Amino acid sequence: MPQDYVNKILNVYPNLLIHSVIFNENGQNNTVIEVNNALIFRFPKYQQGVKELKEETRILKHIYKHITLNIPNPIYQNLESQTVGEVFVGYRMIAGKTFDMHAFHSLGHDDLCVIAEQLAQFLFELHSIPLQEESIDHLYQKNLYEYWEDMYKRIQEKLFRYMSKESQVRVEKHFKDFLNDTINFQYEPTYVHGDFGVGNILINHHLPKVAGIIDFGGSHVGDPAVDAAAIISGYGEDFLKKMYVFYPGLQSAESRMRFYRGTFALQEALFGIENDDEQAFKNGIFNYQ
pLDDT reported for residue 138: 58
pLDDT, tens digit, 9 for 90 and up, residues 181-205: 999 988 888 999 999 988 899 999 8
Beta strands 97-98; 190-192: pairing state: unpaired
Residue 209 has pLDDT above 60, yes or no: yes
> What is residue 26's predicted lDDT score, i.e. its pLDDT?
67
pLDDT given for residue 172 in this prediction: 97
Residue ranges of the chain assigned to CATH 3.90.1200.10: 97-288
82 pLDDT band, cuts 50/70/90, is confident
pLDDT reported for residue 142: 60
Identity at 126, one-letter amino acid code = L
pLDDT average, residue stretch 70-97: 93
Q: Does residue 139 carry a pLDDT above 60?
A: no
Q: What is the value of pTM for the model shown?
A: 0.89
CATH topology (fold) of 97-288: Aminoglycoside 3'-phosphotransferase; Chain: A, domain 2 (3.90.1200)
Portion of the chain with pLDDT greater than 70, in percent? 96
- The band of 223, judged by pLDDT with boundaries at 50, 70 and 90, is very high
Instruction: Give the DSSP per-residue string, 187-223.
Output: ---EEE-S--SGGGEEE-SSSSSEEEE---TT-EEE-
Confidence bin at 251 (pLDDT 50/70/90): confident
Task: Give the pLDDT band of residue 78 (cuts 50, 70, 90).
Answer: very high
Residue 85, phi-psi category: left (phi > 0), alpha (psi -120 to 50), beta (remainder): left
Q: What is the mean pLDDT of residues 1-11?
A: 88
Please provide the distance, in angstroms rounded to a whole number, between the alpha carbons at the two ends of the chain: 37
Q: At what angle do helices 225-235 and 264-274 cross, to 10 degrees?
A: 100
Q: What are the residues whose beta carbons fall under 8 Å from the beta carbon of 209, sequence distance 6 or more?
A: 114, 115, 118, 203
Q: Write the CATH number of the domain with boundaries 2-92.
A: 3.30.200.20
- Residue limits of CATH 3.30.200.20 in the chain: 2-92
